[in-house]
Amino acid sequence: MSIKRIISIIALLLCIPFLAKAEICDDNYIRIQSIEFSKKSEGATELEETNVKDNTIYLNVKLLEVDDYVTYKVTLTNDSSQDYNIDDSIYNRDDVIAYTLDTEDNSKIIKTGTTKIVYLTVRYKNKIDKSNYQDGVYNNNEKVAFKFVSNTANNTANNNVVINPETSTMAIYKEMVFFSLSLIIIVIALVKRKTKVAKYMIIGGLLLVPIKVFSLCYCNLNIESNVVIPEYKERKTYNIVKDDILIDDEKSEKVEAETGVDFLEPSSDTNGEGKYIFAPTKNDDVPIYYYRGSVVNNNALFANFCWQIVRTTVTGGIKMIYNGTPTDGKCLSEGADTQIASGVKYNTDYGNTKAIGYNYSGGHAFKYKQNTAISNGTIFANDVTYENGQYVLNDDRYAKDANYASERDEKVASHHYTCWNTTGTCTTVSFVYMTRSTLQFYVNLTGGETIEDVIKNDMTEQVNTTKSDVRTVIDNWYEANLLNYTNYLEDTPWCNDRSIHSLGGWDKNGNLTDKLTFSANYRITELGKPSLTCAPNDSFTTSTENGNGELDYPIGLLTLDEAAMAGYGWNQDGINYLSNGQVWWTMSPSLQSANYMYVGVVHTMTDNVHTGYVNGSSGGVRPAISLNNIVTIKDGDGTKENPFTFNELS
């Protein structure tokens, strides 16, 4: 046998293992089981709900500026008999839109017969050249196919090792080179022979090349995307606050404590002055930034009025407080001129449980009796039942006697219910919630009500049907001045947080000398941790998407929490950018004591925050609004002499 024949036989034998391993892939080996929205940046919008058809994902999104993104959670199933590697290196490119796949376990392997969750992110990666916009919009219609490469060569017992897609691909390329060399040897050995067998071997060998290419087992995750990007000409308002930002829970240039800003103390050179990230939101997609202390670069001119930027919102908006009218384009107002009204009562009816509501309904009036007006033998009880239209005091009773003056606070503290008689039955029962000197304060209950019902329905879960006095003033001003600017404003929640920290004497086992304290008061006076959220019922909005939908217009008041973040301390003097030498209302319920309801006020004549009677006549009104995140800065540096101005919406 000739040398050429021997070489040909050896080369052919070398090809047999490749033929044995040849497998034609089917795209359905890697199947899309489900897809759902995961998260997005504040400037991203889904134009249509994402769907899957014929193992292809269809996306339709709008992005506003660089780094905006939308992420989807995709569940994949490997129905093949092999492990597959995700090969996404082809999309590590420098285009406008970037597509990336990430896995929950950081492994790129999808094992045979298993499901795997991957996160598909569509990101606005690089700024668009102006020439690529048409009619102010850039449309990116693209078909994308992520490759899944069979991992046969690496399918060993050590399946937990993360396989580099490039390494897997290189192994396949080596096999292809080795196989091609075998074919070349066959061709060289037989090229001079013109027998039919030689020709068939050559043709067969050449055909094996594409067969081998297909046998590499590539499967695709197919995506058809439509990404719309409107031309974004100016700087977003959110970003002016974002610049030169510090975190408020650590030591920094003007924060002396290692733990960061102390919200129980006023702002100062050692307790915060400048722009800060609100620490509870630092890991959010849209962190909240705020101004603190005597800053001078947060002034803005909008709708022909002056404003001060207070903070950003979770949707990237800019919350601002009213600060007067401009003079020659400058914001120089002081004192009462920084308010839309002075001498306004929060609510006229101060002596009622409803009085702390920005909106309210119903309510129970606060009443009181003198000790001397109560007969000896009058029964007080720990609880009550209601049957056939009658309240009946339970057996855990206390009856007034000659020692009442000295024993009252101790005895009534555990016996709050009374019919003001000696029988212990009545159609209207009273609940005593506080004593003071010779007086005891109470509310009347009817129709089977308990004190728990009153607290729930009147304070924490009010039906909000009637406008408060202060809201009426704000709404009337909005109608007269801002109605034509509504599309510039976002529907951010305005917190009238009526949640209760401590019931005091409103607890049927509570101390009669303790006040009912609302959560905002506790956060600012004891806890030192402001909050920017509240229950849906207390989140006043114009729509029901993110609140109660009970506002007519997107405008409200700041809260005690926001005043503390700006730099006010509770009954502690300290000057910050909100100081105007006046007393003005916040939106935060504070206390209930005796026959009064209290709401938090900013008392800037002494530059602190404290409680104010809801019917106090000295309250000023400084409404706040929140600019939508699509509004952009036109000019200005934020000083009073050169306030920020904004572009008109197209």
DSSP string of 348-373? S--SBGGGG-SEE----B-EEEEGGG
Sequence-ordered list of residues with C-beta below 8 angstroms from that of 1, at least 6 positions apart, any chain? none
Sequence-ordered list of residues with C-beta below 8 angstroms from that of 82, at least 6 positions apart, any chain? 29, 112, 150, 151, 152, 155, 217
Is 453:461 a contact under the CB 8 Å cutoff?
Answer: no
By percentage, how much of the chain surpasses pLDDT 70? Answer: 81
Positive or negative CA dihedral for 522, 528, 532, 536?
negative
pLDDT digits 0-9 by tens, 519-548: 998 998 899 999 999 999 999 999 998 899
Is 79:114 a contact under the CB 8 Å cutoff?
Answer: no
Give me 335's structure tokens.
């004192």
**Looking at residue 11, what is its pLDDT?**
53
pLDDT digits 0-9 by tens, 434-474: 999 999 999 999 999 999 999 988 887 777 788 999 999 99
Burial of 405 (0-12, 13-18, 19+ CB in 10 A): exposed
Q: Which band of pLDDT confidence, cut at 50, 70 and 90, is reported for residue 293?
A: very high
Chain position carrying tokens 């007969």:
375
Is 429:444 a contact under the CB 8 Å cutoff?
Answer: yes
The average pLDDT across 341-351 equals 86
H or E element in which residue 188 lies: helix 165-190
Chain position carrying tokens 């909100």:
578
Lowest mean pLDDT among 112-121, 321-330, 428-437, 635-644: 112-121
Sequence-ordered list of residues with C-beta below 8 angstroms from that of 385, at least 6 positions apart, any chain? 391, 392, 394
Lowest mean pLDDT among 148-157, 338-347, 516-525: 148-157
Q: Which band of pLDDT confidence, cut at 50, 70 and 90, is reported for residue 168?
A: very low
Give me 330's structure tokens.
């400058």
In this structure, the number of other CB atoms found within 10 A of the CB of residue 312 comes to: 28
Give me 68's structure tokens.
């905006």
Give me 389's structure tokens.
């239209």
Strongest mean pLDDT among 13-17, 102-106, 595-599, 626-630: 626-630
**Looking at residue 295, what is its pLDDT?**
96
Q: What is the 3-state secondary structure (H, E, C) of 41-69?
A: CCCEEECCCCEEECCEEEEEEEECCCCCE
Q: Which band of pLDDT confidence, cut at 50, 70 and 90, is reported for residue 614?
A: very low
User: Quick one: which of 494, 21, 424 has its CA closest to 216?
Assistant: 21
The average pLDDT across 605-622 equals 57
How far is Cα 269 from Cα 609, in angstroms, rounded to an integer?
A: 20
